[in-house]
Structure 1
């Protein structure tokens, strides 16, 4: 669509609430595509209205040019939707660390120069720091105690839910694309995600037998925490056909990332263990520790470090379809997806970047996972 087509459209309105998204443009609730070019490069001259996941409506006179992100996945998600780091003004330190340690900082080096002291580890905002940046909008988790200090300081806040669903990811993408003036970018990203989701579900349904028990460690060093009920990790373990001991017959109480002791893990005896990217634990740390030697996943050497791409693959984000494929290949190594090629294709789409062989090895932790079963399937051909 040419830019001059935009002048013939009426007000763009984007409503995103409750984890679902509908993009409306000029045609009421017809569901037709918004008035921007398919590449997402068109300009939006009319006000942009967004209802966030608190149910609060924000209106911007024009696409935003300065965004501070506090939720950890938000910084890299914004960059992926935007295709650049030009409109990201600051981020949570954990977001910055993922960019530094992954490949996002290589693809978008400007991001590593941005402030990353805008909130404490528990997302409490450093209000004066944020206000000094004078952003158009601050992206924050929707808890009142996290949002109100920012709004009381006169800042515009876009509230996100943290309920660990794919619908949340879709909603975040839609809101970010809308406020950047690139609503069709959200449709493109969701279409790809939906396609991969359908294929993963179909493959899992077609196996006709239960998959392995898979335990995800959000933290391993300095105290054990695993993904329990209402987590995205529980969602994708079950998506690929596996089972999560933390939500099975002997479940952990509570939801989210829950602390536990070694004895509970020994009772569960998981067949596969995943180590997240929120600490430095690697498979060799478990293989070499006598405490874990009787666990099935250790005996069969099925302990894996989760990949780290443009963002960590363990929480929800723009690269989640790649996590589903990787985990499916881990759970069922005989049914290989050609993941390296999929990562390359996705990175071209998300970041306009062709990853090198060395970058693919880094993303997939080829070296760190080299002692684990069947991991050679992810090596360069």
Structure 2
């Protein structure tokens, strides 16, 4: 073999090695054997999971929501019971998941019930950079025994959820669905980022987020629960600077809300919404006088909050239309709603159903 032939063979070998190394570096499953594969989770732990993950349970609603969106046939239990109204928008084959609780606001998870669901994999939500995450995950792993516990970054921030959606899609083999969800989210995030950045402070509409059946609980700016107000450029009247920089929920009085006199009120509470226009106290507010009170669509997950997470992706264009309808005339909310429900809730809405969801939320027909 001459020198030139040896050189060509050497180059080919180098190219093959580089290609294999590149593939291994870019794929989350770095080592795969028959029936299992090793993955590195989002807290840096290496663990072995089934090569084909078919049964999954998450320990908190935001992760459960993502799993329902991208691979509902692989989800084996949920953290809370759907209401009858919510079930109207859930296909029959997904309507009877067992309820196993979880470790989030209610802290009512049952290890026994999780294990009884016979999952191949358990997804644990972590706060990116949180000091207690590793110890929490280790505790879960100890309690769940041989069932692998995969740590995935918190999905409660609608602007950061994409990385976790992509990671979950790779783990469960639903990359295309995950990419579809991120494309939808990025489309509207790009739109509101571009337009909200041009709003002068004096042109921003003031917004009050009314929680509870009396409307007198709220969340200030920079809270995850009211993040969509900040995102689209609304001015949250319960600004954290006026509340001791707290980002947790706060109790207020009707007198305080009257003094704020917001342009717009957004709520998740059906009872509050049903009586706000007939209540003499609330009647003093401009938002009530001008019919600018809006109820987040509820089913099968709320669009605006509770849980915070990927369910709020459809809430981005909705909140933009609520607060700045003139700036978002190019958004067709009926089409956007149908697309989202079909692709991510696995439920095909008619035009009339989508329109009714939006009208019931308080949007004017001219703004749909």
- TM-score class, shorter-chain normalisation, is 0.7 to 0.9
Contact kept? 2:153, 2:164, Cα under 8 Å? no
Are residues 1:119 and 2:102 paired?
A: yes
User: What does residue range 141-220 of structure 1 map to in structure 2 within 5 Å?
Assistant: 141-142=125-126, 147=137, 150-153=140-143, 154=145, 155-162=147-154, 164-208=156-200, 210-217=203-210, 219-220=211-212
Number of the residue aligned with 1:295: 285
Number of the residue aligned with 2:82: 97
Contact kept? 2:206, 2:263, Cα under 8 Å? yes
User: What does residue range 42-61 of structure 1 map to in structure 2 within 5 Å?
Assistant: 47=37, 49-52=39-42, 54-61=43-50
The 3 A distance-change label for structure 1 pair 117 and 179 is: same
Number of the residue aligned with 2:304: 314
Number of the residue aligned with 2:337: 343
Q: Pick from 87, 91, 94 the counterpart of residue 74 of structure 2.
A: 87
CA–CA distance in structure 1, aligned partners of residues 47 and 217 of structure 2: 36
Q: Which moved more, 1:150-159 or 1:284-293?
A: 150-159
The 3 A distance-change label for structure 1 pair 254 and 148 is: farther
CA shift, 1:368, in A, is 5.7
The 3 A distance-change label for structure 1 pair 306 and 106 is: closer
CA shift, 1:113, in A, is 1.0
The 3 A distance-change label for structure 1 pair 149 and 70 is: same
1:125 counterpart SS class = coil
CA shift, 1:64, in A, is 1.6
CA–CA distance in structure 2, aligned partners of residues 124 and 204 of structure 1: 39
What is the root-mean-square deviation of aligned Cα atoms in Å? Answer: 3.5
**Unaligned 5+ residue runs, structure 1?**
1-8, 11-23, 35-43
Contact kept? 2:302, 2:312, Cα under 8 Å? no
Contact kept? 2:59, 2:123, Cα under 8 Å? yes
Number of the residue aligned with 1:242: 234
Contact kept? 2:78, 2:97, Cα under 8 Å? yes
Q: Number of paired residues? A: 333
CA shift, 1:148, in A, is 5.7
Q: Pick from 11, 20, 25 the counterpart of residue 28 of structure 1.
A: 25
Contact kept? 1:271, 1:297, Cα under 8 Å? yes
Contact kept? 1:91, 1:115, Cα under 8 Å? yes
Q: TM-score, normalised by structure 1?
A: 0.74
CA–CA distance in structure 2, aligned partners of residues 313 and 162 of structure 1: 18
Structure having the larger proportion of residues in helix: 2
CA shift, 1:151, in A, is 2.4
CA-to-partner distance for each residue in 1:196-251, whole Å, 9 max, x for gaps?
2111222223455622111223x322673322254334432122121112226523
Look at both structures and tell me which one has the larger radius of gyration over its CA atoms.
2
Number of the residue aligned with 1:14: none
Contact kept? 2:36, 2:51, Cα under 8 Å? yes
Contact kept? 2:77, 2:98, Cα under 8 Å? yes
Q: TM-score, normalised by structure 2?
A: 0.77
Number of the residue aligned with 1:359: 353
The 3 A distance-change label for structure 1 pair 360 and 161 is: same
Are residues 1:332 and 2:332 paired?
A: no
2:208 counterpart SS class = strand
Contact kept? 2:207, 2:237, Cα under 8 Å? yes
Number of the residue aligned with 2:129: none
Number of the residue aligned with 2:8: none
The 3 A distance-change label for structure 1 pair 222 and 147 is: farther
1:139 counterpart SS class = strand
CA–CA distance in structure 2, aligned partners of residues 164 and 182 of structure 1: 20
CA–CA distance in structure 2, aligned partners of residues 368 and 345 of structure 1: 18
Contact kept? 1:123, 1:146, Cα under 8 Å? no
**Unaligned 5+ residue runs, structure 2?**
1-15, 127-131
2:122 counterpart SS class = strand
2:53 counterpart SS class = coil
2:284 counterpart SS class = coil
